[in-house]
Amino acid sequence: METSDHTATSEDPFLARKRSSGTTTKRSTAGHLRLDEENGSQSNASLRTKRKRKTAASATANCIKYGALFLLVAQMVGLVLLMRYTRTQEGQMYLASTAVFFMEMLKLVICVVIAVYQIGWKESWRQTLVPVELFKLCVPSFLYTIQNNLLYLALSHLDAATYQVCYQLKILTTAIFSVVLLQRQFSAQKWLSLVLLMVGVIVVQFHSSSESDNHHHHHPEDVLPQHKNVLDGADATTHASERFIGFVAVLCAACTSGFSGVYFEKILKGSTTSLWIRNVQMGLPSVLVAFATVLLKDGASVRTQGLLQGYNRTVWTVIWVQALGGLIVATVVKYADNVLKVFAASFSIVLSSVISAVLFDFHPTASFVVGASLVILATILYAAPEKKRRKKTILPLTSSSLKR
């Protein structure tokens, strides 16, 4: 009886251990749940933070990309219009060769500052002063200097809109030299765009010739009719010859631009040297070539009236805009893509035409509009991504298919 009473009143040790273990399990489960909730909230917070940072970085990148694109359009349009204005303004004309020399000097200083900032003074000059590399880059240096002088000559004889359209021939020359020097192959779409580009430039040239024929000249009233006809014919011939000189200058500039760009790309491929070091290496001979051009072309005028004859604030603005243009293009290439760069070139053609029609004596004809539209279409088509054809997958024959 005592045993039975003892058994009835006391708890089974196994049941006690089970109850205590269950309580402990519940407590531990609750603790794990709380820890999971805390960890989950922390992970969600970290995810939200990462998303915010990613969104902020994306917004910053977009701001830089479209800001650089805006600067590129402004640089393209502003440089051409300012150069055209300085080459047609009244008063003493500045020397184009000296403007190119100061521009090359400014570009060299900017590239040296960036190279020193990146890798230090001693290392930058150690990598720059390599005789073999300097000798290689003498070719594009010489051609770029000639090209810049040709651009001043072209804008002295062509309006800004016609110049912008015709200068897009550098796409064609770059493609041709890429095939010759780099053995690059182009698709049918790109060749079609190059043909459209040529047709557009030819149509624009018809606009130039028709404008020369329809150009009205005003003479004093006391001039006899037969003398007026002679003067009109002489003026028309002079105007046509000037525009022809401008077109030849643009064509030569496009050729030098295409060859220099492809040659420089060939040197950059397979090289670990910094791009800014390469620019410094190319800038040193460019300054020497530009200074030699000043002495050979305008040496007598410089000795009598100095390097800064005809200079004003507008001329210095042109030099700064042209020198900083390379930095803007580098920023666009780094943060944007080729499509946006082409969009900037096409938009600059339209904007230059509109501004020239409003501010300058430019009257676009139907042939100019058609030609400029073809050039813009060709530029966009050249940079458009191509659709790759999917190859049909041929499934291997299985044993079951063979039995059938």
Q: Which of 278, 276, 334 is nearest to 117 (CA)?
A: 276
- What is the Cα–Cα distance from 361 to 331, expressed in whole angstroms? 34
- What is the Cα–Cα distance from 238 to 157, expressed in whole angstroms? 11
* Separation of CA 113 from chain center: 22
Among the ranges given (79-93, 106-120, 195-209), the one the predictor scored with the smallest mean pLDDT: 195-209
Domain count, the chain: 1
pLDDT in tens, 331-350: 665 655 555 666 677 778 78
- What is the Cα–Cα distance from 3 to 282, expressed in whole angstroms? 108
| pLDDT at residue 355, rounded to an integer | 82
Average pLDDT of the chain to the nearest whole number: 75
Tokens found for residue 227? 């003398």
Q: What is the mean pLDDT of residues 280-300?
A: 90
Do 157 and 242 touch, CB atoms closer than 8 A? yes
Do 51 and 286 touch, CB atoms closer than 8 A? no
In a domain, 390, yes or no: no
In a domain, 4, yes or no: no
In a domain, 364, yes or no: yes
In a domain, 54, yes or no: no
In a domain, 221, yes or no: no
Model pTM score: 0.69
pLDDT in tens, 194-215: 888 888 888 887 655 555 445 4
In a domain, 10, yes or no: no
- What is the Cα–Cα distance from 72 to 76, expressed in whole angstroms? 6
The listed range with the strongest mean pLDDT (53-57, 259-263, 287-291) is 287-291
What's the half-sphere exposure (Cβ side, CA atoms, 13 Å) at 121?
0
In a domain, 404, yes or no: no
DSSP per residue, 237-303: HHHHHHHHHHHHHHHHHHHHHHHHHHHHHHHHTT--S-HHHHHHHHHHHHHHHHHHHHHHHHHHHHH
Tokens found for residue 167? 């200068």
Q: Which of 346, 373, 166, 378 is nearest to 251 (CA)?
A: 166
CA angle 91, 92, 96 (to 5 degrees): 125
| pLDDT at residue 182, rounded to an integer | 81
Task: State the sign of the Cα–Cα–Cα–Cα dihedral 72, 266, 172, 140.
Answer: positive
Between 335 and 133, where is the model more confident? 133
In a domain, 12, yes or no: no
Range of the domain at 258: 65-212+238-383
